Amino acid sequence: MSVHSLPAPARDARAQLAARHAQVRAHSLALAAPLSAEDQCVQSMPDASPTKWHLAHTSWFFEAVVLAAHGSAYRPFDARWGHLFNSYYESLGSRHPRPQRGLLTRPALAEVHAYRAHVDEAVQELIASADAAAFGAAQPLIELGLQHEQQHQELILTDILHALWCNPLLPSYAAHEAPALRLAPSPLRWVDGPEGAVAIGHPGEGFAFDNETPRHRHWLQPYRIADRLVTCGEFAEFIADGGYRTPSLWLSDGWAQVQAQQWNAPQYWIAPRDPRADATHWQVFGLHGLRPLDAAAPVSHVSFYEAAAYAEWAGARLPTEAEWEAAAALPGLRELHGHAWQWTRSSYDPYPGYRPWSGAIGEYNGKFMVGQVVLRGSSLATPAGHARDSYRNFFPPGARWQFSGLRLAKDGHDD
């Protein structure tokens, strides 16, 4: 069956997918564009990956998950690269050790660009030419490939920010913007959350990861939740009040981390030279380089441990992920998306009735469901269109290199 014989709606679906595929793939290259080949090769810690590796891995994902199964005539760009760019899929073959991704000066960046073009051409060809059955089978996997690419787009930014931070010259990813016109932070308001049996999980329309399903009932006790995120200015007060020196505020593992790593501020904060300086006289390193702390901006780059300690200090707590999701549907809440991921007080456990996807992509989420903490919302680095209220992001409790902040909650309703 030729693509011309498809009924009109399906043709629209193909055209839309082709356009979306082209747009998402191009955006990765746009994010990498300000970086030299050297910058794109570096790995600053095992948790982070080089930009070039992200560019190649996301292409490998299309190759291994979409083209290997559905692009019948597809020839891999280089059979040896599966070993290099497989991240963690045990069922898809051997893998280069994660901490050594920065050693891959070859393939060169230009070769990775050629790889992307090769894979993109094949995917576009598949979208254009597959028969209806094949397209039906491939379409959700292509969509998954694009969602996966978007996740790595955020990682491109978080990982290069960490790498630049490790350079004593503190180079910027992007040029300084004109300073934003910042007003004082708006006062925090408490919003009563829903209570009783609420429905949690992806409602079913549009894309969702397997870990957001199945939608199920969850019983909520009365609670209230802050309508905005904790700000840098507020967090600076926590520091000034001795927050990093007061063990009673911290979870045991968090306090051990504070001492072992000598944490005294969020990841990218540089202390004022004069320790008696005003609490806001910090400098903060970001994608636009080193800038004075913006007291009204949401705090970011804090670990779960720091988020929980701050909440304790503030006489509050972190919301559970169910509380967050239930409250997200209410009017009144601000900064749900696009500022900073929000640590919740929920470990990353499977939903009742959860089943991973079948096949290799079953390794996407399920096998990480222990030892991690859920974050909700999305950040300034999340690509447009990628955020969802039911989205379950997760990181170990000590991770700080993500754009991770917090929103407060309390037991009971507001008086």
Contacts with its own copies, residue ranges (CB under 8 A): 36-42, 44, 80, 83-84, 88, 90-91, 96, 100, 102-109, 163, 166-169, 171, 197, 216-221, 223, 247-248, 250-255, 304-305, 308, 320, 345-350, 352-353, 363, 367-371, 373, 397, 411
Nearest distance from C-beta of residue 230 to its own copies, angstroms:
19
* Cβ–Cβ under 8 Å, residues 284 and 188: no
Q: What 3-state DSSP class applies to 273?
A: coil
User: How many helical (H) and strand (E) elements, i.e. helices and strands, does the chain have?
Assistant: 11, 12
Q: Which residue, 39 or 325, has its beta carbon nearer to its own copies?
A: 39
Q: For residues 26 and 352, give the distance between their C-alpha atoms in angstroms, rounded to a whole number.
A: 38
Q: What 3-state DSSP class applies to 246?
A: coil
Cα torsion at 380, 383, 389, 393 (round to 10°)? Answer: -80
Q: Which residue, 42 or 130, has its beta carbon nearer to its own copies?
A: 42
Nearest distance from C-beta of residue 291 to its own copies, angstroms:
18
How many CA atoms does the CB half-sphere of 259 hold within 13 Å? 8
Q: Which residue, 233 or 356, has its beta carbon nearer to its own copies?
A: 356
Q: Which residue, 131 or 411, has its beta carbon nearer to its own copies?
A: 411
Nearest distance from C-beta of residue 274 to its own copies, angstroms:
21
Query: For residue 289, which of 120, 172, 152 has the smallest C-alpha distance?
Result: 172
Nearest distance from C-beta of residue 244 to its own copies, angstroms:
14
Query: Which single residue is written with the structure tokens 């409602």?
Result: 203
Q: Which residue, 195 or 335, has its beta carbon nearer to its own copies?
A: 195
* DSSP-derived secondary structure letter, 244: G
Other CB atoms within a 10 A radius of the CB of residue 245 amount to: 10
Q: Which residue, 258 or 295, has its beta carbon nearer to its own copies?
A: 258
Nearest distance from C-beta of residue 20 to its own copies, angstroms:
30
Nearest distance from C-beta of residue 1 to its own copies, angstroms:
36
